[in-house]
């Protein structure tokens, strides 16, 4: 499969041959699901915390005597049945991360990228260097590339001007080729790779 390489003005600058084999529709679907679920689980803070009977403030004194008052028996002010009492089986700080093998993550990324390539949602730019951190210059690049909706810009390495120019543009996110995940590939409407970043991802997919 070949991709057209463009410059920041939208002009064609040649073609790029995709070096990894695209995955057919029937393979890798479960790997994509596992990778996305693991990614979303890892984003959870896991800091929710409640106090049980032994942790809430209060005395161990019996509220009233066992018999003779006409009221139900009570043994503690900290009972879960009482307002201000402990919580039964409440949440505690925990780690939600799920383990996904390296081979599964690689298969998921290749499957997701294959689907986006077949759908024509990938744009390759020869180089994405901005002269300044002005938002106007970055918006001009987006217009020249005819990008609509959400977009993910994938560069080889973090770029200060690109970060400054894009941070106020809604529906646009940045990533690098070495940190690109399956979730990142699936989420936006368009993927914009620099040539070096796309080759960087290809190198990741080619490793065993």
Domain ranges, residue 136: 2-37+99-206
- Total number of domains in the chain: 2
pLDDT in tens, 63-93: 999 999 999 999 999 999 999 999 999 999 9
Is there a contact between 7 and 126 (Cβ–Cβ < 8 Å)? Answer: yes
What are the residues whose beta carbons fall under 8 Å from the beta carbon of 65, sequence distance 6 or more? none
Domain boundary among 61, 79, 95: 95
The helix or strand, by DSSP H or E, that contains position 108, with its residue range, turns out to be helix 102-118
Domain boundary among 95, 120, 137: 95
Q: Kindly report the CA angle at 168 between 162 and 173, in degrees rounded to 5? A: 60
pLDDT category of residue 208 using cuts at 50, 70 and 90: low
The 151-155 sheet, strands edge to edge: 12-17, 2-6, 122-125, 190-194, 151-155, 172-176
Q: Verify that 167 and 111 share a domain, yes or no.
A: yes
pLDDT category of residue 206 using cuts at 50, 70 and 90: confident
Q: Verify that 30 and 120 share a domain, yes or no.
A: yes
**pLDDT(129) > 90:** no
Report the predicted TM-score, pTM, of the whole model to 2 decimal places. 0.83
Q: Verify that 110 and 157 share a domain, yes or no.
A: yes
pLDDT in tens, 37-48: 999 999 999 999
């Amino acid at each position: 499969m070949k991709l057209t390489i463009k410059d920041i003005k939208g002009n064609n600058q040649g073609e790029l041959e995709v070096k990894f084999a695209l995955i057919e529709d029937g393979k890798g679907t479960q790997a994509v699901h596992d990778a996305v679920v693991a990614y979303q689980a890892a984003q959870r803070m896991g800091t929710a915390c409640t106090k049980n009977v032994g942790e809430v403030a209060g005395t161990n004194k019996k509220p009233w005597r066992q018999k003779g008052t006409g009221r139900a028996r009570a043994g503690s002010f900290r009972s879960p049945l009482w307002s201000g009492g402990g919580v039964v089986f409440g949440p505690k700080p925990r780690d939600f991360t799920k383990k996904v093998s390296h081979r599964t993550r690689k298969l998921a990324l290749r499957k997701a990228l294959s689907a986006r390539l077949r759908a024509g949602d990938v744009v390759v730019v020869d180089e994405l260097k901005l002269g300044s951190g002005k938002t106007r210059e970055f918006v001009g690049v987006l217009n020249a590339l005819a990008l609509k909706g959400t977009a993910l810009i994938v560069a080889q390495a973090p770029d200060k001007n690109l970060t400054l120019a894009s941070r106020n543009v809604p529906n646009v996110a940045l990533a690098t080729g070495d940190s690109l995940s399956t979730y990142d590939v699936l989420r936006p409407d368009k993927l914009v790779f620099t040539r070096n970043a796309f080759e960087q991802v290809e190198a990741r997919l080619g490793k065993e």
